[in-house]
Amino acid sequence: MATDFSSIPIIDVSALLAKCDDPKLGEDPAVLEVVRQLDKACTEAGFFYVKGHGVSDALLKEVKDITRRFFELPYEEKTKIKMTPATGFRGYQRVGENITKGVPDMHEAIDCYREVTRGMYGDLGKTMEGYNQWPQNPPNFKVIMEEYISICTELARKIMRGIALALGGSPDEFEGHRAGDPFWVMRLIGYPGLTTTNGTHEAMENDIGCGAHTDYGLLTLLNQDEDINALQVRNLSGEWISAPPVPGTFVCNIGDMLKIYSNGLYESTLHRVINSSPKYRVSVVYFYETNFDTAVEPLDTTKTRANGTKKFEKAIYGEHLVSKVLTNFVDD
Ligand SMILES: N=C(N)NCCCC[C@H](N)C(=O)O
Ligand SMILES: O=C(O)CCC(=O)C(=O)O
Ligand SMILES: [Fe+2]
């Protein structure tokens, strides 16, 4: 449950990562300190910055750089990897093609999802069947992004072990049938800056880069441009709190499935993007999800913390994702 937070904490996760697969993880004082900070941040804001994550600054920068170079290409080039239902909604979407609560978002993006082969999840997976569409240009795009995805998957798995402890469970709570075979989503996003006419700033059709929404899965790792303040997070009173760039960190936030697992102790907090700078903004967003076909319901430990009441009904992650994907795009 969110509170009236006014800033977003920074958590150094290095102690957690160092001991992550140690069976005595939950007894180490330095790890428990990280766990305490995770629990506080997840309870109060649903958002936190992560440092001490071990991902090199060079890689964080490179994925944003090649994303920016792709978006600089002419439209005809970008649309060669156009997102369509036939590719399981993977690929390029132009500015205004993604909609949030019915309003076009002022961003362009490449959407990527873990591969789903034909018949893999029966009818549940049909919408998402397909392979990622990687551009030929810039060269090495696929190789770099696939390396980044595997590093993010590993990092998110480890942070989730800390969050499992924070929820009073065993570190393995999100392994196995819950998220031992995690689905993932990656969005490479570009937000045009305000254009200048006669020395005055002028918005495009609207100025919302991405409308207020929650993320769908477990944990999001956001790698945002270093010099533009555009991401905003909503607190309990409805104020929008800035999540400014903090170089070398990820912004992490909780998704809808973790809200359910935590029985509402943790919130999937509303957030939005407004790029009111004149500069083009890039973000590379990795979403760590549950197993595609898993049924998500509050963990027993969290029911106890909520006096035995279960606040959410079962949800199938894949159904939740598909319902979002099918309503996220304008028809053209
Ligand atoms: N996979 C994730 N979480 N994507 C977040 C995109 C949020 C905007 C989308 N149009 C929406 O309304 O959800
Ligand atoms: O670009 C950002 O800072 C956030 C994007 C976001 O919230 C999303 O894609 O879910
Ligand atoms: Fe988001």
**CA 301 – CA 206 distance, rounded (Å):** 44
Amino acid at 279: K
Ligand 2 in contact with 111 (CB < 6 A)? Answer: no
Low-confidence winner among 189-193, 225-229, 328-332 (lowest mean pLDDT): 328-332
Ligand 1 in contact with 96 (CB < 6 A)? Answer: no
Mean pLDDT of 11-32: 96
Q: What pLDDT does residue 144 have?
A: 98
Q: What pLDDT does residue 324 have?
A: 97
pLDDT tier at 303, thresholds 50, 70, 90 = confident
Residue 40's H or E segment, with its range, is helix 29-44
Higher pLDDT, 2 or 173: 173
Q: What pLDDT does residue 199 have?
A: 55
Mean pLDDT of 305-314: 86
Strands 103-104 and 99-100: antiparallel
Ligand 2 in contact with 275 (CB < 6 A)? Answer: no
pLDDT tier at 197, thresholds 50, 70, 90 = low
Low-confidence winner among 41-55, 119-133, 174-188, 191-205 (lowest mean pLDDT): 191-205
pTM: 0.97
Mutate to test the pocket of ligand 1, among 47, 213, 232 (most ligand atoms within 8 A of CB): 213
Q: What pLDDT does residue 72 have?
A: 98
pLDDT tier at 305, thresholds 50, 70, 90 = confident
Q: Ligand 2 centroid vs 271 CA: distance in angstroms? A: 8
Mean pLDDT of 45-55: 98
Ligand 2 in contact with 271 (CB < 6 A)? Answer: yes
Ligand 2 in contact with 325 (CB < 6 A)? Answer: no
Query: How many CB atoms within 10 Å of residue 143?
Result: 10
Protein residues with C-beta less than 5 angstroms from the ion ligand 3: 215
**CA 246 – CA 10 distance, rounded (Å):** 9
Nearest Cα neighbor of 193 from 280, 115, 131 is 280
- Ligand having the closest approach to the CA of 209: 2
Q: Who contacts 15 (Cβ-Cβ below 8 Å, separation ≥6)?
A: 28, 30, 31, 33, 34, 52
Cross-strand pairs, 12:
51
Write the pLDDT tens digit of every residue in 110-151.
999 999 999 999 999 999 999 999 999 999 999 999 999 999
Q: What pLDDT does residue 201 have?
A: 55
Q: Domain spanning 10-325: which CATH class is it, in words?
A: mainly beta
Ligand 2 in contact with 64 (CB < 6 A)? Answer: no
Q: ipTM of this complex > 0.95?
A: yes
Instruction: Name the residue with tokens 């959410």.
Output: 312
Write the pLDDT tens digit of every residue in 70-94.
999 999 999 999 999 999 999 999 9
* 198 pLDDT above the threshold of 80: no
Q: What pLDDT does residue 307 have?
A: 80
pLDDT tier at 308, thresholds 50, 70, 90 = confident
Low-confidence winner among 47-51, 198-202, 250-254 (lowest mean pLDDT): 198-202
Q: What pLDDT does residue 332 have?
A: 57
Computed over every residue of the chain, the mean pLDDT equals: 95
